[in-house]
Structure 1
Amino acid sequence: MVCDKCKSELNDETKPCNKCGEAPSSDDEGVVKAKLQNDGSENKKSGLSVKRIIGLFIITLLISSVGYWFYINRDNRVGNTGGNIANSGVVSSQGRWTYFRNWPEGSSLYRVRLNGKDMEQLTEDRSEYINVIGDWVYYKNWSEDGSIYKIRIDGSEREMLTDDEAWSLFVDEDWIYYRNFSDGSTLYKIGLDGENRTKIADDKAGSLFVDNGWIYYRNEEDNNAIYRIRTDGTERTRLNQSPSRYINVVDEWVYYHNESDNMIYKMTVEGAEHTKVDVNNAYYINVNNGWIYYANASDDWRLYKVRTDGTEPTKLSDDRCWNINIIGDWVYYENIYDGWRLYRVRKDGSNNEPVFSG
């Protein structure tokens, strides 16, 4: 180190200069400047870090908002759930709208926003088996002898697709599958434009559930045993021997009501591992997210749920119900106590309410 005054070399930087007697500096200005520069740099880095965090948060929020918008406004791949179709398909949904059958208004077709606002009638047709895909609602029209109709989601361009008396109609991408009562309740499919009407099987079918390229149904010519067949009409197979109703296929399991003992059973989609679920007198079953929702005939047809392993039976409503449909976190049903008006209740049993008033 050198003396600040005469620039002579210092033998001891803590003592005065041997040549001119100048006292050593009490502070090293270079060190101070360096420290100030470092502190400023750190502050800048800190400021940049905060800005970067805020920017990332805003970007994440925007991406989440856009993703949610696309999710809530997406078009359906299938027109309804199989569990709802097994319960007459009285409710379906797409985007921000719920489509439903309004029994007190002649079973006509209505829609209402998810928040309960802007309810409107789409058609006076007596409707059932409601399916919604894209810009169209497909349904069974009881006002025209059970024919299959479609109408735009805004209520325009109503059109008949076939005059077959259709039951259990289910829309899966480009096809409508149904039981054709005009031909002995045999299995059919038809294109969404009403073209390519095709017979799939000659069995007299009761119930129908389409899942992953297969149609599951009960064969009324074979003691109502459950069969399955591919949607192209191949690989027809019997899965059980019991008289069965309310078929639901979920996560590779087939759930059904066994008419021999009025119990719920399940088996694999290949017809193996037949298992009794400890639930008695359960009707109108709809299986959803690990729970079976049902009308309990042992408790005057009130609404219950139970886990798919038979545990935690829980009453959800004291209303007498039928045609149990599920949309999101809500369980819909037609209330026998209130003129078959459509009601809903959350899956935890809260917010039991009519879907509409009047």
Structure 2
Amino acid sequence: MNKKYTKFIIGGSVLLAIIILIIVYHNVTKIDKNSSSTTGNTPGNLLNGGSFCESGGKIYFSNPYDNNKLYSMDSDCSNIKCLTDDDVSYINCAGRYIYYVKNNAKASNTNSLLRGELYGVVRCALNGGRYTTLHTGYSTDLALSGNTLIFNGVLNSKNVTYTINVNGKNEEVLLEDDIANSSVYKGHIYYSKPSSSGTADHSVYSMRVSDGSSISYLNGNTYMASVVNNVLYYIDLDNNYALTSVNLSDNTKKVLTTDKVVLYNVYNDVIYYQEETYDHSFNRMNKDGSNQIKIYDGDITSISCTSKYTFFKMFGSDTLYRVETNGDTAIQKFFVAAD
């Protein structure tokens, strides 16, 4: 009787342990569902290539000093770590996962070349683990809307816009054209119609992510449209590239600066922009166009904003620089040693 009881206890304990392990494994590996309003990065950062993404007190970024590999650091730029060996861009974060585009075609990325993993859309955990390739093939312009990833790719030698669920299922062609997917707002993508469309129409369009239906939202000759906090921003090509805003609630239109703007990033209450009117300079202003401050004389590229710092590169250089996003505009060189 005691032996039978002992075997029963042992068998029950083993079964309970197996059940616990299954539950733990399921909880660790399951892909949490996002709310429908979830986005993966700011429109401004994605317009600038998505090299930086801040989430949960961490910054995930592409390190130009280490073949653009995925790194993480705290928001104050401390505790720097390498997460994956991919050459990354268009970084998005939501919940427990990072999503990004990989482009490992450079000869320096030997491991990826040997594995044949040159291009694609990747999902990984916040520490770089649980690495999964969701889509193989050349990809760009990745963004997140709820539980749907939107990105540009190639199908039968034609540029298309894809969607795929964050769990890697239900890949579909959303649009038989490639657009800037950076500005996701309330389940819609707001974009300036690209020149590749073959028409002279460069109006701002709004496309529903769920079914690909679209409408012309604002007629005009526009570039780099984005929506931040219910305000549409765009570069007005017919008005000397003036950065212009339109309130989506009452359609109030405002020219924020008459400078010739070629690049910008709206972050909370400030806007960083590159102008090429006369002297070519990098500037900051309030989101209503007031308090314009010159930061740097010259051309810069890839403006990336986070809560504490805004990062950028000077034209023709991979050296990173930073300024305080809302404070002092003194430029600091930012170097990240290879991990």
* Aligned with residue 177 of structure 1, among 150, 155, 167: 150
1:251 aligns with 2:229: yes
Contact 1:90–1:129 under 8 Å retained in 2: yes
Query: Which aligned pairs between 1:139-218 and structure 2 lie closer than 5 A?
Result: 139-143=100-104, 144-182=117-155, 184-206=158-180, 208-218=182-192
Provide the rounded CA distance (Å) in 1 between the counterparts of 2:283 and 2:82. Answer: 31
Deviations 1:274-323 (A, max 9, x none): 44333322222111233321112246654211233333211234574211
Mapped pair 1:135 → 2:96: yes
Deviation at 1:141, TM superposition (A): 0.4
Identity of aligned residues (%): 21
Partners of 1:291 and 1:127 lie apart in 2 by: 27
Do 1:116 and 1:356's aligned partners in 2 also have CA atoms closer than 8 Å?
Answer: no
Structure 2: which amino acid aligns with 1:98? I
Q: 1:131 to 1:105 in 2, by over 3 A?
A: same
Letter in 2 for 1:161: L
TM-score (normalised: structure 1) = 0.70
Alignment of 1:229 with 2:229, yes or no, is no
CA–CA distance in 2 between the matches of 1:115 and 1:312? Answer: 26
CA 182–225 in structure 1, closer or farther in 2 if over 3 Å, else same: farther
Displacement of 1:236 in angstroms is 1.4
Aligned equivalents of 1:253, 1:96: Cα separation in 2: 26
* TM-score of the aligned structures, taking structure 2 as reference length: 0.74
Letter in 2 for 1:196: N
Deviations 1:21-70 (A, max 9, x none): xxxxxxxxxxxxxxxxxxxxxxxxxxxxxxxxxxxxxxxxxxxxxxxxxx
- Written as runs of structure 1 = structure 2, the 5 A alignment for 1:1-358 is 77-143=38-104, 144-182=117-155, 184-206=158-180, 208-220=182-194, 221=197, 222=199, 223-233=201-211, 235-260=213-238, 261-269=240-248, 272-298=251-277, 301-318=280-297, 320-336=299-315, 339-346=317-324, 347-350=326-329, 352-358=331-337
Alpha-carbon separation, structure 1, partners of 2:170 and 2:148: 9
Paired positions, count: 283
Structure 1 unaligned spans of 5+: 1-74
* Aligned mates of 1:279, 1:218 — CA distance in 2: 20
Distance across 1 between alignment mates of 2:249 and 2:179: 19
Gaps of 5+ in 2: 1-33, 105-116
Matches of 2:184 and 2:210, distance apart in 1: 12
CA pair 307-299 structure 1, distance change in 2 beyond 3 A: farther
Counterpart of 2:24 in structure 1 is none
Looking at structure 2, the residues matched to 173 and 182 of structure 1 have their Cα atoms a distance apart, in angstroms, of 25
More deviation in 193-202 or 270-279?
270-279
When residues 146 and 225 of structure 1 are mapped into structure 2, their CA distance, relative to the original with a 3 A threshold, is: farther
Shift of 1:225: 2.1
Q: What corresponds to 1:10 in structure 2? A: none
Deviation of 1:207 (Å) = 5.0
What letter corresponds to residue 102 of structure 2 in structure 1?
Answer: N
CA distance in 2, matches of 1:336, 1:234: 36
Higher alpha-carbon Rg: 1
Residue aligned with 2:218, SS: coil
* CA shift in 2, pair 1:180/1:267, >3 Å: farther
RMSD of aligned alpha carbons = 2.7
Q: Deviations over 1:229-278 (max 9, x none)?
A: 11212651112333322222023221011233211122244894444333
CA distance in 2, matches of 1:259, 1:182: 31
Counterpart Cα distance in 2 of 1:270 and 1:232: 23
Q: In the alignment, what sits opposite 2:18?
A: none
Using the TM superposition, name which of 144-153 and 325-334 deviates more.
144-153
